[in-house]
Every structure is written in C-alpha cells, then in structure tokens.
Amino acid sequence: MRRAADLSRLEGPGVPPFRLSMDFKLGGLVSGPAEGHYLWISGPQNQWRREISFSGYSEVEVGRGTKVWRERNIEFTPQSAFWIQSLLSNYDRLVLDEHEKVDSVYRRSDLQCVTLRGDSDSRDLCFDRSGTLRHVVYPDEMTAYSYSDYTKFGEKLFPRSLIVSAHGRLVVKATASLTEFDQGSYLGPFEPPPGIVGMSGCMNPTPSRLVKKVEPRYTYLARGQGRHGSVYLTIHIAADGTVRNIRVLGTAGPDLDDAAVDAVRAWKYSPFLCGGVPVEGEEGVTVNFSRAQTH
C-alpha cells in the first residue's frame, strides 16, 4: 500500500505543478448516458483549482493554503461527481488507518490483493507486480474502481484509464492526461469565484472513515411486499464526525428511504483532516436492503 501511494499519489517530493485532465462517460443514469470533463490544476505555493462538469452539474473549487472557495450550480454533490472524485481520493486512502486491520491476503490472477476490515466497513485493494494500484472494491457500497495503462510523470506513475462499476454496471469510463502546469497558458486559475465565501480546507484532506454504523430497520411494509433495493444519500460530515444535512438522491421507496435516513443520522465518522485539523466535508453513502433481511 505504501509503495502504491509513493508511486501514484500526486503530492509530496517529486511532483511538479501539474494539470490533470479527464474526459469521462457516465452510464447507468436515469437521464441516459452523458459525457463530462474533470480538471485539476496544482500550482506553486500550495494553490489549486478543480473543475467538474457534466449534464446538469458544474462545480469549481479554488484553494490557497488552508482556504477553499467552492461554487456549484446545485446545493449538493450528485453521485456521479462522487464517483469521479473517489477515482482520485482512493490514492489518498492507501494507508491502514487506526480503525482497520488486515483480514486476508490473496492472489487474483497476477495481482496481489488484501482485504481491510474496519469497525463498520471493509474494502479490497489489488496491486500489480510493480506495486501500482489496480482495483479498489467497497462491498458495502457495491462499488469497484479499476486503474490501468499507467504512464510516467516525473517520479510518479499515473493511470490513463480509470473505470467505476456500481451494482455490476459500468457507470464511469474515464481517460486521463497528466502534464506539467504552465501558468502562462491559463490566466488567473487560482482566483476565487466572485461572491463566494471561503472555508477551511486543503488540497488533499485525509478522507473521513465510518467508525460507528447503525443498521437500518427493514420496514413491515417492505418485508410484507418482499421489496429490496438501495438508497443513495449525500451527507455532510461535521468537524466532530457527526452526520448532518442528509439528502436522498437514489430511492428505494419512501418507507425504506426514511429507514435509511434514520440509520445514517446515527452514524459516526472520523472527520476529514487537513494537517491534522478536523474540517467539514461531504460523502456519498449507499444503504442496502436485501431479500435476506425480509426473513
């Protein structure tokens, strides 16, 4: 894990100012397939700019040191945007945190894999012989991330092909290009969006982790009808790790949606961290209701 992070994490020694551009295709949407673009510019003096846009959504984030300005066209981050962000933040999670332990080590074809189990969730990571990250699977979320076609950038290796699958369906297919940043070719990239109030943050916060999970109550109505499904929520994680501002984006029916919200409201997270300081952040979570729960 440490070698994979050293090889591909876009931070630290050996990483010059860069421009990461990704064109992606989205599948599995109710509105049909869509295309989009992601841009991440990391400049000198701890300045950065991120942009993401696709049908119905656009977001710009500008950061300087410990201050972040964010502008988007809607009040919440849709699931597809979380998938795109997670393609990159998975590299920030290539460390065994205090709530995890190694559950098993196994081989998958020519890959070396490990299952990490925490207090409330688990994940599987697979690496190739060179040490680069190839797959990340989150069983509870039924989501998998795949990386291939690595190319050299300075002292780093970065994938040009990135894929996300959810519930067995291809939902994101992205092609990335990573080059050194030439500020002369991009005027004013680090100017905050006008009228936006800055907040505490950093370019690559340490991701939050679920440390207390309350299982949802399977409703009598759903049990009687034999209904099952998944509820997708966006949540705001406060600096103390509590969950706030829950929004249902993917429904399994009003009764199961309410049961999911009630459960997630009681969840507890370790907060996002910037230089060891807790900061607020957003997450997308999936609550599954299976047929097995009806018995």
State which of 1-10, 42-51, 170-179 shows the largest mean pLDDT. Answer: 170-179
Calpha distance 143→138 (Å, rounded): 5
Phi, psi of 79 (to 5 degrees): -60, -40
pLDDT at site 133: 97
At 98, the pLDDT band (50, 70, 90 cuts) reads confident
Residue 214 has what pLDDT? 93
> pLDDT confidence of 295, banded at 50, 70, 90?
very low
Q: Tell me, what's the pLDDT at 185?
A: 61
pLDDT tens digits, residue range 120-159? 889 999 999 999 999 999 998 889 999 999 999 988 999 9
Q: Give the residue extent of every domain in the chain.
A: 2-200, 209-294
Q: Looking at the chain, which runs of residues are DSSP E strands?
A: 18-26, 34-43, 47-54, 57-64, 67-72, 101-108, 111-117, 122-127, 133-138, 143-153, 156-166, 169-180, 199-200, 209-212, 229-237, 243-250, 268-270, 272-274, 277-279, 281-289
Domain 2-200, CATH 2.50.20 — does that match? yes
Strand partners for 59: 52, 72
Per-residue model confidence as pLDDT tens digits over 104-129: 999 999 999 999 998 888 999 999 99
Structural contact between residues 279 and 200, judged by C-beta atoms closer than 8 angstroms = yes
Name the band, by pLDDT with cuts 50, 70 and 90, for residue 225.
confident
How many other C-beta atoms lie within 10 A of the C-beta of residue 179? 11
CATH architecture of the domain with range 209-294: 2-Layer Sandwich (3.30)
pLDDT at 294 over 60: no
CB 279 within 8 Å of CB 239: yes
Longest dimension (CA), the chain: 64
Average pLDDT estimate for 231-246: 95
Where on the phi/psi map is residue 149: left (φ > 0), alpha (ψ -120 to 50), or beta? left
Tokens of 148: 């291939």
User: What pLDDT shows up at residue 115?
Assistant: 97
pLDDT for 182: 81
Question: pLDDT band at 291, cuts 50/70/90?
Answer: low
Q: Does the pLDDT at position 199 exceed 80?
A: yes
